[in-house]
Amino acid sequence: MSASRPENVHQARLLRLLRDEGPRSRAELGDVVHLSRSKLAVELDRLAELGLVETAGLAASRGGRRSSVVRLAPGLRFVAFDIGATSIDVAVTNGELEVLGHVSEDCDVRQGATVVLDRALDLLGKLRDEGLLPSVHGTGIGVPGPVSFRDGMPVVPPIMPGWDRFPVRDAISQELGCPVRVDNDVNIMALGELHAGLASGVDDFLLVKIGTGIGCGIVAGGAIHRGVSGSAGDIGHIRVDEAGPMCACGNTGCLEAYFGGAALARDATAAARDGSSPQLALLLADRAELTARDVAEAAAAGDAVAVRLVREGGRNVGQVLAGLVSFFNPGLVIVAGGVAGLGHTLLAEIRGVVYRRSPPLATGNLPIVLSELAGQAGVIGAARLISDHVFTDA
């Protein structure tokens, strides 16, 4: 099916307002969009004809005649695919981007585009079988690598063999018969935080994702800053110390060579093997390799080596972030991703370095916080991405 789109800028504004603020009376909408009563009625009638909004009873009186309440059509549906290095999340939202259904499973992105996207469509089928998908107005997709936003495809993604220039947008658009937009996973998380998280209403902020690797979503002036080739926020290979460890990229001393899920697994396994951490050795006896979660467990149990790994990692993230805060002067920094599960010890170290190293004017009023959206930032952000497109006049 082909979904309807607003016909002009007034209709687009009304749709975004109803998406972000929920149902509103005609009087309230008129106050915000500065349209005359009659002009507003014309636009709302047209949106109703297009199946995008509906009238839902009368609002409380504001003194005069009671005004009817308008809301987005309850049948509006957006689909969100959040494809990570080792997982797929698929969700369905309504027009207000409330998550109606969300399924997730482990999946190795290195299996290539065809296998992974087929798997995502299978998972979507489950949600459809539950009756959650009467229609599809658009699909937003995040992938763990750089994306040409204009072309809707990954470009030379380092950890996604088989995905380079695969036409993700066009393939899924053809499959689902709806508009599709593709972006990298960190950008969609930032959009999720902007829509429903701690960054709601913050125009300039950074979302630092610490997962297997480390990336940054940049919101400038209320919109994602993607850079000229879509690689903005690729901070995992910023230098911490030239004399540091060798990185998979061929340089030395990159942030990811020091920290992130992969580096942490490496260091924890070494500490388990060389006997310096009895706690980590105990955990390693049970499984083939250690993960960030094991380090969190050992640290919580008071293991000194695990605590040191978390602290050193936080300091290195903090060093890089201090430079970015000096440069960008954000109003908020959100730390998210699997390794952010290391929690407040990690956060305390990051804060310590940033508050000490960045200019006082940049940090005087700068919260550095952990995400509160847990695993939902990505899918909410993917839905936000496509809804921004669908709720724009064609």
Site residues (vs its own copies, CB under 8 A): 146, 155-156, 203-204, 216, 218, 220-221, 223, 225-235, 237-239, 241-242, 249, 251, 319-320, 322-324, 326-331, 356-362, 364-365
Residue 38 is inside which H or E element, if any? helix 37-49
Smallest distance from its own copies to CB 355, Å: 12
Query: Which residue, 75 or 367, has its beta carbon nearer to its own copies?
Result: 367
Q: Is 118 left (phi over 0), alpha (psi -120 to 50) or beta?
A: alpha
Q: What are phi and psi of 305, to 5 degrees?
A: -65, -45
Residue owning tokens 């969009």: 33
Query: Which residue, 130 or 241, has its beta carbon nearer to its own copies?
Result: 241
Query: Which residue, 99 or 202, has its beta carbon nearer to its own copies?
Result: 202
Query: Which residue, 252 or 345, has its beta carbon nearer to its own copies?
Result: 252
Smallest distance from its own copies to CB 325, Å: 9
Tokens encoding 232: 């903005």
Smallest distance from its own copies to CB 109, Å: 18
Query: Which residue, 44 or 368, has its beta carbon nearer to its own copies?
Result: 368
Interatomic CA distance for residues 233 and 247, integer angstroms: 18
Smallest distance from its own copies to CB 307, Å: 21
Query: Which residue, 283 or 366, has its beta carbon nearer to its own copies?
Result: 366
Smallest distance from its own copies to CB 271, Å: 24
The CA distances from residue 106 to 88, 103, 278, 323, in Å, are: 6, 11, 30, 35
Smallest distance from its own copies to CB 247, Å: 11
Smallest distance from its own copies to CB 350, Å: 15
Query: Which residue, 32 or 249, has its beta carbon nearer to its own copies?
Result: 249
SS3 assignment for 188-243:
HHHHHHHHHCCCCCCCCEEEEEECCCEEEEEEECCEECCCCCCCCCCCCCCECCCC
Query: Which residue, 231 or 392, has its beta carbon nearer to its own copies?
Result: 231
Residues whose CB is less than 8 angstroms from the CB of residue 357 and which lie 6 or more positions away in sequence, other chains included: 318, 319, 322, 323, 326
The CA distances from residue 65 to 18, 25, 48, 59, 60, in Å, are: 22, 12, 22, 10, 10
Tokens encoding 387: 């809804």
**Type of residue at 256:** E
Smallest distance from its own copies to CB 239, Å: 6
Query: Other CB atoms closer than 10 Å to residue 196's CB: what's the count?
Result: 22
